[in-house]
């Protein structure tokens, strides 16, 4: 792989181990496209957390919006270990989807709660569903709705896993944190996942490696639905050995 892609892979390995494992289970040709996308996501997602100054965080996010604008316009793109390989992976439409992701991440800069459930759903959609759609589109043409449903389910699962850390950081991650509200969210995620899986034959084989990141979504959402108290306890994760076996099975069968 090109040295920039190797740098992206190392960033993902250190900062997003779950996605790193999923990408490493994919063919090498797919890794070269997926690592820049996920390295971008990592850089953007941590930008609001590396400083206590909102203006500096906003400037970091704006830097990425400017870089995406260069990709979208089709002109020269600034030299950067992530932005440069990303420009060879995403097209103008992908850059627009990622720009929406960056804009949604402004919520992370501040401490205000979500306005309502619609705002929360929009945030999950633009951060997680947009990301999965860009990743899948980097490999092949895909049905947007199916990938978006899968991405939304993945986003809910990852968000519920992150609730304790977000609360510790002073954020208000849920519109309503009762057990029933959590159960409802988990059921919503499982419905989206089931709908996406019902249409998974519409995902071309070339794009299926991008869907391996879903390998933990189902078990996490089921755990949140069945025992919503595990969200606050931070105990939604599957046992590591079982998790690895599940990923291996998904990679071998393609049945994400």
Structural contact between residues 20 and 12, judged by C-beta atoms closer than 8 angstroms: yes
CATH code assigned at 208: 1.10.600.10
- Domain range for 44 is 1-109
Are 238 and 226 within one domain? yes
Q: What is the mean pLDDT of residues 232-243?
A: 92
Whether residue 116 sits in one domain with residue 93: no
Domain identity same for 5 and 67 = yes
What number of other Cβ atoms are within 10 A of residue 70's Cβ?
15
Is 28 in the same domain as 105? yes
Same domain, 103 and 80: yes
Mention every residue, 6+ apart, whose C-beta is less than 8 A from residue 161: 220, 234, 236, 237
Q: Are residues 5 and 60 in the same domain?
A: yes
Q: Looking at the structure, do residues 134 and 215 belong to the same domain, yes or no?
A: yes
For residue 205, pLDDT beyond 90? yes
**pLDDT tier for residue 254 given thresholds of 50, 70 and 90:** confident
Q: What is the pLDDT of residue 238?
A: 86
pTM assigned to the model: 0.96
Point out the domain boundary residue: 54, 74, 109: 109
Count structural domains, the chain: 2
């Amino acid at each position: 792989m090109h040295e920039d892609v190797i740098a992206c892979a190392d960033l993902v390995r250190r900062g997003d181990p779950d996605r790193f494992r999923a990408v490493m289970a994919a063919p090498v040709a797919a890794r070269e496209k997926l690592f820049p996308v996920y390295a971008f996501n990592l850089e953007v997602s941590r930008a609001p957390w590396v400083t206590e100054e909102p203006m500096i965080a906003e400037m970091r996010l704006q830097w990425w919006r400017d870089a995406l604008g260069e990709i979208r316009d089709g002109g020269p793109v600034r030299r950067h270990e992530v932005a440069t390989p990303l420009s060879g992976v995403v097209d103008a439409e992908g850059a627009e989807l990622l720009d929406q992701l960056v804009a949604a991440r402004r919520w992370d800069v501040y401490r205000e709660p979500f306005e309502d459930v619609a705002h929360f759903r929009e945030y999950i959609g633009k951060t997680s569903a947009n990301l999965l759609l860009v990743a899948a589109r980097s490999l092949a043409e895909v049905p947007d709705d199916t990938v978006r449903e899968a991405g939304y389910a993945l986003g809910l699962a990852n968000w519920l896993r992150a609730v304790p850390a977000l609360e510790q950081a002073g954020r208000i991650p849920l519109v309503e944190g009762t057990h029933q509200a959590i159960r409802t969210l988990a059921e919503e995620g499982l419905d989206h996942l089931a709908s996406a899986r019902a249409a998974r034959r519409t995902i071309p084989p070339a794009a299926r490696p991008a869907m391996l990141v879903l390998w933990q979504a189902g078990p996490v959402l089921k755990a949140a639905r069945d025992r919503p108290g595990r969200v606050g306890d931070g105990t939604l994760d599957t046992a590591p050995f079982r998790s690895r076996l599940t990923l291996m099975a998904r990679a071998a069968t393609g049945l994400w």
